[in-house]
Amino acid sequence: MHKNFAHIPDLTPTDAELLDEIDLDRMPRHIAVIMDGNGRWAKMRGKPRIFGHRAGAESVRSILDTCTRLEISAVTLYAFSTENWKRPKAEVSGLMSMLKRYIRSEMREVDANNIRFQAIGNIQGLAPDVQKEIAWATAQTASNTGTILSVALNYGGRLEIVEACRKAAAGHNGSPGEITEKDIEQNLYTAGLPDVDLLIRTSGELRISNFLLWQIAYAEIYVTPTLFPDFRRAEIFRAIIEYQKRDRRYGGLKS
């Protein structure tokens, strides 16, 4: 068993069996998660959608704890897209309030676990009080050297690429013919992070929803029917086990 999972009280026998199947020498560097199904989970229980989002916060804790123990370099969570503004105002307001509370309540543990927090997306398009909490959490964890937690907020993959191209063009004095892939990568929200190795989507939907379009070019995609509030440690282990079964050729042939 991985040393970081020894003696933790909530490790179930199933968790332990799955952990033993994981090859610790072939771990993904960057795991991204499309957290889907909170609303359906709540509806199945006769509750409002925000109830599902609150339950999903427990899954976020489990993902982060598990990935930190596995020493995953980067974890990116899709929390709020540019399209999510179309949702009912009460739901959007509840999500933003929950985000602020989560940052304040969880950041002490995040910091203690040497995790570096950052938000990616059009952060300037969020309310000033939300921006303030994000800036505080970013500064609080800036010197940490462990897992990098990126939370995608007001995020859209197409917009990210457009903005990166504009910045890259400005760096070449408006000469787009000189722009390289490296120029674009250096101007993405995720600059400095490795490309995504494993993209997980919960709730069974077979789409990527405008998420990290550049960064997932060669990612292995794992879709589970599990709704996000039920996505916990065992599900992460299963995703990694499936990832390790894949033959990653990056367009080439197996030697």
Active site annotation includes 154: no
Question: Which burial class, exposed, middle or buried, applies to 176 when counting CB atoms under 10 A from its CB (0-12, 13-18, 19+)?
Answer: exposed
Angle, CA of 189, 116 and 242, to the nearest 5°: 75
Q: Is 88 exposed, middle or buried (0-12, 13-18, 19+ CB in 10 A)?
A: exposed
Cβ burial of 89 (10 Å; 0-12, 13-18, 19+) is exposed
Q: Which of 15, 36, 65, 197 is catalytic?
A: 36
Active site residue 84: yes
One of 20, 38, 84, 173 is an active-site residue; which one? 84
Distance CA(125)–CA(131), nearest Å, equals: 9
Residues classed as catalytic? 36, 84
